[in-house]
Structure 1
Amino acid sequence: MDNLIELLSNGKFLEATVQTLTYVVIAMGLGGALGLVLGVLLTVTRQGGVLQSRGVYVVLNFLVNFFRPIPFVILIAAIQPLARVVVGTGIGDRALIFVLTFAATFGIARLVEQNLLTVPPGVIEASRAMGAGPLRTILTVLIPEGLGPVVLGYTFAFIAVVDMTAMAGVIGGGGLGNLALQYGYRQFNPWVTWAAVLLIIVIVQLVQLLGNVIARRLLRR
């Protein structure tokens, strides 16, 4: 208990919380944008899509299926050489954010595709029948109509990325997960471990609540 009080008083818990939120927000911002583009492409290039292209779909589908199932701790090691090329280092915060973004991109792509496929084909066909081109159909019909489920998908992805940050210590990152492991688990201090866990739960609950509210309003339009 004394160790927990010390960590609270010297600001390490606040610092770890800020680090976790920073990792997740940047990864979701970059990975969310890239995943949205990739997910839309998967949706519109599949058979029957507004930009049907078997070759493009097969390649994109293969990439998503290849990278998405890789456990995050293994992915960290596997793409460390790529991280060095892109962000200049294979360890530390920049490398961690790169790997988080990489993982989020492919995970979100599949979520976006699955949720956009719930849009009734009749709505898209009606848009095409009224003379809308493929790009206009995508931007004004497909994405807006699937936005509610997509928001819930992003909420799920946000929580998954929070879980991934627990592995930050593997490559010298920080955050609540690393704090729980370093000062809680390794020092046999359950007070610190559970304090970090409860703080993560609070963050997740707030994000889930916000996602539910936004999705509910979008679905009621």
Structure 2
Amino acid sequence: MMNNLFSIFDPSTNLFNLSFNWISTFLGLLFIPLSFWLIPNRHFIMWKFIIIKLNNEFKILINQNNNKNKGSTFIFISLFSYILFNNFLGLLPYIFTSTSHLSMTLSISLSLWISFMLFGWINNSQHMFIHMIPQGTPTMLMPFMVLIETISNLIRPGTLAIRLTANMIAGHLLITLLSNTSNILNFYLLFLLILIQIILLTLESAVAVIQSYVISILSTLYSSETN
């Protein structure tokens, strides 16, 4: 039962032994040229408003007060947009949910984390060593604090990936479990089930936005520690 249940997340659309499910992750690129030639409408005005708000918030977190970090917020805005698009795309029927796979989320988080670490240790190595020992730590606890900070730093890409994957899988599994019981329900219970499914779908839409925001905020905070 569990194997059949989790198999809904498996890539299953194949042609000549090539999986075409992952193509859905690049469909967002088709909407990029529209912003260059279409007259600005409510959709683009709303999206521009969101981007400006995110840019102002990310600048505060990164301490973007000089030309050294200028423009780095666009990395995290792009990350937010990309994850948000794929999260919402997975809510549509018969469309592959790429963000529910660790191969997708871990690739994103691991590449960001490695970039932050390389930048920090190459350019701000003294600051990276200081960050391992919080201010006011007793001398006897310094070796343990270095060990704890090192472990917490190493598991960051895994926690980012698992957080996004687990939240996307949980909602989809719950909706699938409830949908499988529709064949044995009468009319009144079926109406109640449809109502519950609509509520869960609304909740999943909120989770899609929240998880995109959380991932981008945490990535911004991890980046600010290397500056």
| TM exceeding 0.5 | no
TM-score where L is the length of structure 2: 0.31
Of structures 1 and 2, the larger Rg is shown by: 2
Structure with greater helix share of residues: 1
TM-score where L is the length of structure 1: 0.32
